[in-house]
Amino acid sequence: MARFHRRTCIILLLFILFICSMMMALKTLRPDRAGFGDPFGLGLLPELQQRTTFLENKHSPLTAANGDSVTHTNNLHSIALNSIKTSMASVRKLEEELPSPNYNFHVFYYSWFGNPQYDGKYIHWNHPLVPHWDSKIAINYPKGRHNPPDDIASSFYPELGTYSSKDPSVIEAHMQQMRSASVGVIALSWYPPGMADENGEPGEDLVPVILNNAHKYNLKVTFHIEPYKDRDDRSMYSNVKYIVDKYGGHPAFYRHKTSTGRTLPMFYVYDSYVTIPEIWANLLTVSGSQSIRNTPYDGLFIALLVEEKHKHEIHRSGFDGIYTYFATNGFSYGSSHHNWPSLKAFCDSSNLMFIPSVGPGYIDTNIRPWNNHNTRNRVNGKYYETAFSAALLVRSEIISITSFNEWHEGTQIEKAIPKKTGQVTYLDYKPHKPTIYLELTRKWSEKYSKEKEQWLM
């Protein structure tokens, strides 16, 4: 009898050790970076999480001691191995499909869209027609608002329909699309809490959601600070502090390593030229009265250049670089490709970053019907590739893309589909697929990476 009890105790002890070993093995299969919901970690696979939880509960030593230990052990071993094989195959497939993110490719992203399902009403899809500033011209053009979902404020129609930026499935799809394009950084349009553009609603609550989803896809997020009311040196300091304090610790928060070895957050400042250089200098120069330099909130502040004279004002203001934003070659001095070499030379001599902005085309006549002269035809992708070629020619460290989803101005690289409703026929990407501009972005991201290796040789 004593020998039987001893053998039973040994079997039970060995079984407990086996259970512990299996749990440790399953735990070590989850990569370190899988925290925060990384898609390449096993956390992406809910079926595995459910099975693992089920197994841990069902096959605990106490439960197993009351049943057939050999049967339970065989079931655990078989189910665990099948789960691991299935999940690892899914992870490998996902990694094969998605190219590596290029953190020198930044894309402007807008989270201002809404629909009745998520927001109780349409937001931005029903954007009003903007009247011309000259009343004599304005009377020749239509007025009013668009009426979604069939009539939207865009010349193209999104594959995802008149989506809400709050829709989790939309955010997920956007992250997948951006990662598939080999983009690395999302330049998120941002207003301070409680503020929005005149046609939108405050969207600060979405920032953590976007950061979390970006992290799943190894994307980073930087902030594209919009011209909110009363933007000046004091409010900018306060808002930069808010952003860094609230989001600076998130793994998706973007920081750029400078040539001096510092790693700093980056902020694009839209319409920076509407504020005089003296105000910016208070914030952005070491001797300024509101100086942010050499504080925990220091960063790389990138100003929008429209006119040639802005380059001197930007330098005097204390900015760290310039970007050109507009996807209309010839519309402004900054957006004209032939001016990029001289702008790059000026930036090099002034210790500034030059970040040209490329885009697939431009058409905003569904919100500014009088602006047809600034339309830029996509020419089946040739316009986009010409812009990329011009950007690579000046060897800029970072290239920005206008835009992922600025549907109003027709600069989006997001998937669009053919659609005809009533009297409205939307433009589309034919003869190519809805993914063509994502694919072209990936192509030029890979080309950039190869050429950059040659620059450094």
Q: In the predicted model, what is the mean pLDDT of residues 158-185?
A: 98
Strands (E), 270-408: 300-304, 321-323, 353-355, 357-358, 399-401
Q: Binning pLDDT at 50, 70 and 90, where does residue 454 land? A: confident
Which conformational region is residue 45 in: left (phi greater than 0), alpha (psi within -120 to 50 degrees), or beta? beta
Question: Alpha-carbon distance 110 to 402, whole Å?
Answer: 11
223-269 confidence digits (pLDDT tens): 999 999 999 999 999 999 999 999 999 999 999 999 889 999 999 99
Closest to 280 (Cα-Cα) out of 322, 239, 313, 325: 313
Residue ranges of alpha helices (H) inside 120-252 are 135-138, 168-180, 206-216, 233-247
- Is the confidence at residue 54, as pLDDT, over 90? no
Contact 36, 251 (CB under 8 A): yes
Closest to 338 (Cα-Cα) out of 395, 392, 390, 398: 390
Q: In the predicted model, what is the mean pLDDT of residues 115-127?
A: 98
Predicted confidence at residue 23, as pLDDT, reads 53
Closest to 366 (Cα-Cα) out of 410, 402, 397: 410
Predicted confidence at residue 122, as pLDDT, reads 98
SS3 sequence of 236-273? HHHHHHHHHHHHCCCCCECEEECCCCCEEEEEEECCHH
Predicted confidence at residue 82, as pLDDT, reads 56
Contact 120, 415 (CB under 8 A): no
Residue 236 tokens, joined: 């900018």
Residue type, 381: G
Question: Alpha-carbon distance 387 to 335, whole Å?
Answer: 10
The predicted model scores a pTM of 0.80
Sign of CA dihedral 244, 247, 251, 252: negative
Q: DSSP 3-state assignment of 27?
A: helix
323-373 confidence digits (pLDDT tens): 999 999 999 999 999 999 999 999 999 999 999 999 999 999 999 999 999
Question: Alpha-carbon distance 127 to 351, whole Å?
Answer: 40
CA atoms within 13 A on the CB side of 434: 12
Question: Alpha-carbon distance 317 to 218, whole Å?
Answer: 34
∠ CA 139-143-147, rounded to 5°: 165
In sequence order, what are the residues at sequence separation of 6 or more whose Cβ sits closer than 8 angstroms to the Cβ of residue 58?
none
Q: In the predicted model, what is the mean pLDDT of residues 432-449?
A: 98
Predicted confidence at residue 42, as pLDDT, reads 28
Q: DSSP 3-state assignment of 82?
A: helix
187-230 confidence digits (pLDDT tens): 999 999 999 999 999 999 999 999 999 999 999 999 999 999 99
Question: Alpha-carbon distance 195 to 190, whole Å?
Answer: 9
Residue 152 tokens, joined: 């939207």
Residue 114 tokens, joined: 């809404």
Predicted confidence at residue 423, as pLDDT, reads 83
DSSP codes joined into one string, 376-414: B--GGGHHHHHHHHHHHHTT-S-EEES-SS-GGGT---S
Residue 302 tokens, joined: 């990138």
Question: Alpha-carbon distance 305 to 310, whole Å?
Answer: 6
- Is the confidence at residue 35, as pLDDT, over 50? no
